[in-house]
Amino acid sequence: MKFRSTRNVSSIVSLSEAIEQGLASDGGLFVPEFWPTFDLKSDLLNKKLDDLNLAEFAFEILKPFFRNDSLEPFLMEICSQTFNFPLPLKSIDAQACVLELFHGPTLAFKDFGARFLALCLEKIQTLNQKPKLILVATSGDTGGAVAAAFNEFTKIPVAILYPQNKISERQEKQLTCWGPQVHAFAVKGTFDDCQKMAKEAFQSVWWKSRFQLISANSINLARLLPQMIYFAYASLQYQKNNKKNAGLIIPSGNMGNATAALWAHKIGFPIEKIIFSHNANQTVLDYFQTEKWNIRPSVSTLANAMDVGNPSNFERIHDLYPELAELKKLAEVYSVNDEQISKIISDEKTIFCPHTATAVFVRNYKVSGNWIIVATAHPAKFDTIVEPLIHKKIEIPGELEKIISKKSTFTEINPLISELESYFKE
């Protein structure tokens, strides 16, 4: 299989090239050239489902996407190491389940994509002689997942830019605890400043002459492919247990998960509907209502990992469904404000993180029928928001406990690319 840019159908690359490049040279995003189909009744898939062997299930589904690429021989190994933590699908009442994506090392769904990306990059035989450097600007969860994955599986250095004093203490710990391989930069500025510095580096001759810079954000194909797996798995499992198909309600920001769910539906998995639950950032809701794509500055909310005014993966969704009317047959959008998020966290028996609360709100107040609510992070990561609302302490999972007890190191810099450069000159 080859992959093409969303902006130019003749701009075609291999899987390995798409992963190393991140963004296509024309500024578009990589998408599969065609969609494989699966025999869902096959003994093989059903057996994997019964055994709960997620790594083998993933291997069967991802095989066509890896065909004829130099990564193909490593796919089973990559899947085994990516999908090696639990993926519970918990029934909460007669019609709804919660799919918990937060049992990885940094307690958010981003662990799946970050681990898969790190393992792919570790195996790719590059012709590029320059040292690789992963550069990420993060507003919270991405940086932690990427740092943990590259630290576990590779020797590739990682540089993380994050806005000082603008992320939670536990999120900061997940960026700064990894030792010399992961350089965390506390930027005296905003997330937008961090993103601007990263963009400047990617375009700068100075950086390009010294490093093979690689982006680890959710535009990278290697983050999206494994995200299809848990939606495929959950939809089949729900169908098996309930003799009915369910829809997915997905807390959405940059729309990587939303894209992966649409892809899982496209290759034939029994997903009845897909709902994007956004926080107060309404770019996608506006598009559904006006058919106009008007990006806006992001607004800060309790669900900070979804504070995105220009969801970059929407370009892939638009590529798959150029006609809004077609997309609307399958997908719906809701925007959930902070007050509604807080209400869900205080009211529900189960403790939800602020992101997951947007999906629970939609399911409780906006829709009826059979649903899988996608839980994107563990509430313990957002203790300062959740604990005052539930009036008790959240138990800290072992993975987070380990990280909290480590020593933090970071470098404070002004929001100037020259300050980042002087660090790498040494």
Interface positions with ligand PLP (CB under 6 A): 108, 110, 141, 218, 251-258, 305-306, 355, 376-377
What are the angstrom distances between the C-alpha of 251 and each of 127, 274, 362?
Answer: 39, 11, 10
Q: What angle do CA 296, 298, 303 make, to 5 degrees?
A: 140
Closest approach of ligand PLP to the CB of residue 2, in Å: 25
Contact status, residue 201 vs residue 420, Cβ threshold 8 Å: yes
Residue 16 or 340 with smaller CB distance to ligand PLP: 340
Residue 75 or 194 with smaller CB distance to ligand PLP: 194
Within its chain, how far is the Cα of 227 from the centroid?
7
User: What is d(CA 386, CA 425) in angstroms, rounded to the nearest whole number?
Assistant: 42
Closest approach of ligand PLP to the CB of residue 377, in Å: 3
Residue 394 or 416 with smaller CB distance to ligand PLP: 394
User: Residue 405's beta-bridge partner residues?
Assistant: none
Residue 224 or 413 with smaller CB distance to ligand PLP: 224
Closest approach of ligand PLP to the CB of residue 253, in Å: 3
Residue 373 or 377 with smaller CB distance to ligand PLP: 377
Closest approach of ligand PLP to the CB of residue 48, in Å: 25
Closest approach of ligand PLP to the CB of residue 207, in Å: 25
Closest approach of ligand PLP to the CB of residue 231, in Å: 12
Residue 61 or 303 with smaller CB distance to ligand PLP: 303
Q: Which two tokens stand for residue 33?
A: 């050239």
Residue 176 or 301 with smaller CB distance to ligand PLP: 301
Residue 81 or 227 with smaller CB distance to ligand PLP: 227
Q: Is 119 exposed, middle or buried (0-12, 13-18, 19+ CB in 10 A)?
A: buried
Closest approach of ligand PLP to the CB of residue 70, in Å: 28
Residue 107 or 177 with smaller CB distance to ligand PLP: 107
Q: Is 3 exposed, middle or buried (0-12, 13-18, 19+ CB in 10 A)?
A: buried
Closest approach of ligand PLP to the CB of residue 220, in Å: 12
Closest approach of ligand PLP to the CB of residue 397, in Å: 15
Residue 246 or 258 with smaller CB distance to ligand PLP: 258
Torsion of CA 154, 205, 5, 17, to 10 degrees: -30
Closest approach of ligand PLP to the CB of residue 309, in Å: 13
Q: What angle do CA 80, 82, 88 make, to 5 degrees?
A: 95
Other CB atoms within 10 Å distance of the CB of residue 231: 25
